[in-house]
Structure formats: C-alpha cells, structure tokens
C-alpha cells in the first residue's frame, strides 16, 4: 500500500486535534484532575499544620500541667530542657506529615504582674529574660493566653509560607501564664513538584490516561450523537429539507432530534408557502409584461405548455418537470427592461434596438438570481436564445453545452412566435412552421428535441 501524501497526513493530524466536543471533554477532565490534585495538596498542607499544632500542644502541655507554678518559675533551665526534648520528639513525628517543616527554634514567654517577658538561652546556655516592649506582639500573646492556641494564618494557597504558632502551655493551677512560640514552614506547590519530580510525572501521566479515557467514554455517549445531529443539520441547512434525524434515544438528545425534525418540517412548509407566493408574483409580473403588447399576450403560458409537452416526451421526472415549467413561464421576465416601442415596433429592429432586446435573458437571470431557492431555473432563462450552432446569445454556447431546459424553451418560444401574429408579420401556416423546424434542425435547434416536438404536434393533430 502506498504511503499517504504529506498533505493528507497533515490534514488528518489537524483534524484529530480539532476542538471537537470529545477533545473538550478530555481537556475538561484533565483540568478537573489538576484542580483536584491541587486541592488535595492544599488540604494535606492545612491538615498537617493543624495536626502538628495539636500534637505539640498536647505533648508539651500535658507534661507541664503536672508541674507547679514554682517549678516552672524557679527552674526555667529545666523547662528549656523539657521543651527541647519534647520539640525534638515532635520534629521526628512531623517527618511523616506532608509538606511542613517545623523549626527547632522556639521562644518562651511568661506574664508577670501583667507584663510579658521573653525567656531565652544566651550563647553560653544561661537562661535570660527581657521585657516585651512591642505592644502589637504583646496583644498577640494576650490572644494566645485567651484562645489557648494562636496562629498567624492557617489559610494556604500553594505558595511557600511560614506560620507562627503560639501555644498556652500554662498549668491549670496557680494563675501562671507561659507561652511557647515557634514557626512552621510550609512547602510551596512548585517546590514540592521539584523535590518529588518522579511522583509528579507519574501523577500527570496517570491523570492524562484517566482523563483521556473518561473523555472518550463520555464522548461516545454524548458527543457522537451530537456530532451526527450536527452533520444532519448541516445537510438540512444546505437545502435538503426532506432529510430527517433518526434516533432511538429517549433522553435530551432524542428530544433535540425530534425538535430539529419539527423545525425542518416547518421550514419546508414555510419555504413552499413563500415560494408559491413569490412564484405567483413573478407569474403575475410575466403576464403583465406579456400584456404590455397585444401581440404577446398569453405568450409565456403557451411557451410553458409546449415546453411541458417536450418534457413529457423525453421523459422528465416530476421535479425536472416542475423546474422546466417555472423556467418556461418566467423565460421572458427580463423583457421588463425592454421599452414597449421596441417590443411593438412593426418593422425590423435596427442594431441598437436588437442589442437592447438581446439583454433581456441576462436581465431575467439577474432578477431570479436574487432568489436562492430558484437557482435551478436560471439556466433555462439565461440561455433560451442560444443556438445549436453557437450563433445565439448571450453566451454563444453550442450543442449540449446549452442547458437542456434552455434548448427545450428555445423550441417552444420560437414555435409560439411563428404561430402567432406579430406587428411586422402574420402568423405562419402550419406547414410553413414544420418546414422551418426541419430546416433548422442542427442549426438553431437540438435535432433530437425537434423530432420529439414534431411527434407531439403530430399526435395532437391526429387527436
């Protein structure tokens, strides 16, 4: 098998990636999966923060609750050792928590005589204390004293941040207040991806596979029927209003198909009503044009009758006969642009006058071309003065390059013109007319159509 051409390969590739409903569903599932993954990371970070704070509060607080106020006040060095040990244990516990890194550094604050003091160990390990002079920080310590646990913020949006935690570790007796303060550093989403690149790649691959599979499953049930409806709708919109949607579905898609079928039926009814109205107007206009001259009254109806007789002799189907009939009755509608003095001139037309008359087929076609549903009748109107030998107008085409309906109308038009009186001559005798058509076979007229028409006339005369 030959390899497909490059253009075909490119077209198929672009078609595969076109923004179809199935692709949009797949993309939606992928985005939704990413949002779920991001939400899970946020939840784990916040949950880990809360868990660590709770574990720290319970571990340190429960141990210190057994100490007396004097124990805490007089043995601050021992208190630092206790908290150091507890914080180291808590730090090990925090290793299993996701995305948080508590700092080993902590600060102790106690309130004495309503004044907050900061207790810390200096470089030599000696315990020192100093008064807290920052009023804002003092207020945060007061809140921690009231709330038991005070945090700077628990909200987390995925960016790396630090949360300050203050826990009231005071024993429940003696009215002594002791606050421990430490920081929790939370890892950002991007840094977590960098540190866990293999897991992140695996997660995204699984996410794409799952979302792609779900997208195709949903599209099979949802997008495929909609795409089918879309194709049928395009067919109907192109003018094939008789087409109908077929589906056994009872859901919204089935209701949509039923509604579209109803719409198509109403379009057909409305189109036919408008076409009939417009056709009636055009026929009335044609009759008015014929009636402008006593010599051409009824001409279009007679041409239509003769053209239909030829059409039945071919034979044509019902749709073709309908188009032929409308083409024939409207074939001279362009004569609305020809002055009456030219149409009724008793003598031969001069070159200028004949040039004006020769414009009427194109003028008629331009009138009809403004009606989209009548485009099938344009050839019969535009070319009904063409000759088999190519000496006609307006295009000078010849033989079978002349549209069939135009060749039929040409014969019917000339026959009616010869058998009716004109201002410049009397109607011809029947034998003279038949002789003329025999002579013009293969010159002005399609020979086969002339034979059919002569046969029709012979049958009519016999009847």
| Residue-wise pLDDT tens digits, 256-304 | 777 777 777 777 776 677 777 777 777 787 777 776 666 667 888 899 9
Task: Give the mean model confidence (pLDDT) for residues 151-160.
Answer: 76
- pLDDT above 70 (res 255): yes
- Distance CA(338)–CA(296), nearest Å, equals 14
Task: Give the mean model confidence (pLDDT) for residues 372-400.
Answer: 92
pLDDT tier, 460 (very low <50, low <70, confident <90, very high otherwise): confident
Task: Give the mean model confidence (pLDDT) for residues 25-48.
Answer: 78
* pLDDT tens-digit series, residues 184-236: 888 777 777 777 788 778 877 887 787 777 766 776 666 667 777 777 777 76
- Residue 143 vs residue 309, higher pLDDT: 309
Q: What pLDDT sits at residue 22?
A: 63
Q: What pLDDT sits at residue 84?
A: 60
Task: Give the mean model confidence (pLDDT) for residues 373-402.
Answer: 93
- Distance CA(458)–CA(455), nearest Å, equals 5
Q: For the chain, give the mean pLDDT.
A: 78
Is the pTM value of this prediction over 0.75? Answer: no
Q: What pLDDT sits at residue 83?
A: 60
- pLDDT above 60 (res 65): no
Q: What pLDDT sits at residue 327?
A: 93
- Distance CA(261)–CA(114), nearest Å, equals 84
- pLDDT above 90 (res 368): no
Q: What pLDDT sits at residue 403?
A: 96
pLDDT tier, 168 (very low <50, low <70, confident <90, very high otherwise): confident
């Amino acid at each position: 098998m030959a390899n497909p051409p490059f253009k075909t390969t490119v077209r198929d590739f672009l078609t595969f990636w076109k923004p179809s409903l199935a692709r949009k569903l797949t993309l939606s599932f992928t985005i939704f999966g990413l949002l779920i993954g991001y939400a899970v990371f946020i939840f784990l970070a916040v949950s880990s923060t809360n868990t660590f704070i709770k574990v720290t509060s319970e571990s340190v607080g429960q141990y210190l609750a057994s100490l007396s106020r004097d124990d805490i006040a007089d043995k601050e060095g021992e208190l630092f050792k206790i908290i150091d040990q507890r914080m180291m244990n808590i730090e090990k516990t925090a290793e299993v928590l996701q995305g948080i890194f508590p700092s080993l550094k902590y600060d102790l604050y106690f309130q004495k005589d309503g004044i907050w003091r900061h207790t810390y160990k200096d470089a030599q390990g000696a315990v020192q204390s100093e008064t807290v002079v920052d009023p804002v920080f003092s207020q945060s310590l007061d809140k921690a004293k009231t709330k038991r646990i005070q945090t700077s913020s628990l909200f987390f949006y995925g960016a790396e941040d630090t949360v300050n935690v203050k826990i009231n570790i005071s024993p429940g007796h003696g009215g002594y207040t002791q606050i421990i303060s430490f920081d929790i550093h939370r890892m950002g989403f991007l840094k977590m991806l960098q540190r866990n690149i293999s897991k992140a790649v695996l997660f995204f691959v699984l996410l794409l596979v799952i979302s792609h599979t779900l997208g195709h499953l949903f599209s099979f049930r949802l997008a495929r029927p909609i795409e089918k409806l879309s194709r049928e709708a395009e067919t109907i919109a192109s003018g094939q209003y008789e087409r109908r949607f077929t589906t056994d579905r009872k859901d919204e898609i089935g209701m949509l198909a039923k509604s579209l079928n109803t719409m198509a039926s109403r379009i057909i009814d409305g189109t036919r009503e408008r076409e009939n109205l417009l056709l009636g107007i055009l026929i009335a206009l044609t009759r008015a044009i014929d009636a402008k001259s006593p010599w051409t009254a009824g001409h279009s109806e007679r041409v239509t009758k003769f053209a239909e007789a030829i059409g039945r002799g071919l034979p044509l189907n019902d749709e073709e006969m309908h188009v032929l009939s409308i083409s024939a009755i409207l074939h001279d509608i362009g004569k609305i642009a020809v002055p009456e003095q030219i149409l009724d001139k008793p003598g031969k037309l001069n070159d200028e006058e004949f040039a004006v008359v020769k414009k009427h087929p194109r003028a008629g076609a331009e009138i009809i071309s403004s009606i989209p549903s009548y485009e099938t009748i344009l050839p019969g109107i535009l070319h009904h003065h063409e000759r088999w030998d190519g000496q006609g107008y307006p295009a000078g085409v010849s033989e079978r390059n002349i549209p069939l309906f135009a060749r039929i109308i040409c014969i019917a038009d000339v026959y009616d013109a010869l058998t009716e009186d004109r201002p410049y001559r009397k109607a011809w005798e029947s034998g003279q007319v038949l002789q003329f058509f025999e002579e013009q076979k293969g010159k002005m007229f399609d020979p086969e159509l002339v034979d059919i028409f002569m046969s029709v006339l012979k049958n009519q005369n016999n009847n």
